[in-house]
Structure 1
C-alpha cells in the first residue's frame, strides 16, 4: 500500500509523555499536595512547555483518579482517600502473594541480599524521618520478588497499582514508629523464604498488607504529606 500523499502533522508524543510523567511523579511524591489546585498556565510555565500537553496530562491523570475537577471552577490533586486504601491494599495482598509464589524458586542469595539491604534502608530512612526515601526503600523490597515472578502481565498490574499505593504510603510512613513495624514484618517474610516455607512467606506477606492498612486507618487524616518541595522551572523544552 503506497504512503498517502497528504498526512496529518504528527504530534510530539515524547514531550506529551514526559509532561504526564512529571506531573504524575509530583502528585505521587507529594510535591503537589492532595487538594492543591492545578493551574495549567502555571504548570506550563514551570515545565517550559505550552498549555496543550499540560491539559492533556491533567485529563489523563483525571482518568487515573489522581486529579479531580469541578467544571469551570477548579482542577486539583485528588485528596488521599481511605476508601481507596481499603480497595488497593487487599488487591496488593493477593497479587503480591501470587508474585512471591511464582518468584520463590528464583529468589537466590543475591535477591535475598537485595531485600535485606532495602529493608535496612527502610529502617534508616524511618529513623531519619526521610519519608520519600522510606517509600523508595519499601518499593525496592517488594519489587525484588515482583520482578522475578516471570509473569509480565502480573508485573504490569502490580506496578500500575503501585502509583496510587505510593501516595498512600507517604501518609503511612508519616508515622515512623508505625512504619518500623513494617521493617519487622519484612524480616519475617525474608526468614520464611530462607527457610524454604513458601506457605508461611505468603501468609506473612498477606498479613503485612492487611496490617499496614489497619495502621494507616488509625492515623490522623487531616494532615498533608510530610514533604513539600518547590516546583522547578523549565524542566522540558519543546
Structure 2
C-alpha cells in the first residue's frame, strides 16, 4: 500500500517532467557534437549555481528546524551534497581548461542564473514542504541530464571517472534523500502546511528556469 505523500511525489514528478525538446544542449553533449568551450561554460555557470543553492538550502534547513524538522533534514542533506559537488566541480572545470583567472573574469549568463535566483526566492518566501515537493520533481530531470552527460564525457570527450564525478554524484539515486522527501511531504500534508497547487506552481517555474539554463548555454560559442 502506497502512502499519499509518496503518490504525490510520484505524480508531481511525472506531471512536471520536461519536454525532451526543451533542452537543446544535452543531446549535443550526448552525441559529442557540443564543443569543449560549451563544457567550459557549463562549469563556469555551475560555479555560481552550486554555492548559491547550498546557501539557500542551509537557510531553508535553519528556517524549517522548529516547525518542519522533516523538511529541515531534507534541506541539510541537500546542502551537504552541494558542498561535496562544489569540490568535484573544480576538477571538471580544470579538465575543461578553466583556471582561476578565467573563473574570476567570467560574466554569468542571466538565463543560467535565473534558476538559483528563484531557489533563493523560495528559501525566503515559500513553505518548506512546498519547496520539498517542487525541488524533488525538478531533481528528477536534473539527475537524468547528469547521467547522460557523465556517459558522454567518457565516451566522446575522453574524461576520466574523477573528472566526471560531479555529474555522477547527481545522477546517482539517493534512497536517503527520497526517504527524507517523503517524510517531509507526509508531515506537511498531515499538518496542513503543504499546498499542492502552490507547490506545483513552484515546480513548474523551476523546470522553466532549468530549461532556460540549458538554452542559454546552448547559445555560447
TM-score by length of 1: 0.26
More helix by share: 2
TM-score by length of 2: 0.28
Return the index of the structure with the highest Cα Rg: 1
